[in-house]
Amino acid sequence: MTETETNTREAEQTGQGNEPAAEEQLYYYRIRFRNQGQEFTAQSKIGDLAPGNVVIARTDHGPEPARIVIRAPRAP
């Protein structure tokens, strides 16, 4: 095997070919920080969160617990 063939094979195995890497699937959820508080839309790489699940959301004030209200349609 030549050096070029070896480099091509390594790139294919590590996903570094000419094709762009597949983007990770993002899921959108409506969350609330307080029981009767305002709802916010958040995104996650986890696709199986259910209403009532408690998650940690990144905020301007640092990580805070929030509750999943519902799965939201994809946001622009």
Q: Please say whether the beta carbons of 15 and 50 come within 8 A.
A: no
pLDDT tens digits, residue range 28-74? 999 999 999 999 999 999 999 999 999 999 999 999 999 999 999 87
Place of tokens 């969160």: 49
Per-position DSSP letters for 11-23, written without gaps between them: HHHHT-SSSPPPP
pTM of the model: 0.64
What does the angle CA 71 – CA 64 – CA 39 come to, to the nearest 5 degrees? 40
Rounded Cα gap, residues 7 and 12, in angstroms:
9
Q: Which of the two residues, 52 and 4, has the higher pLDDT score?
A: 52
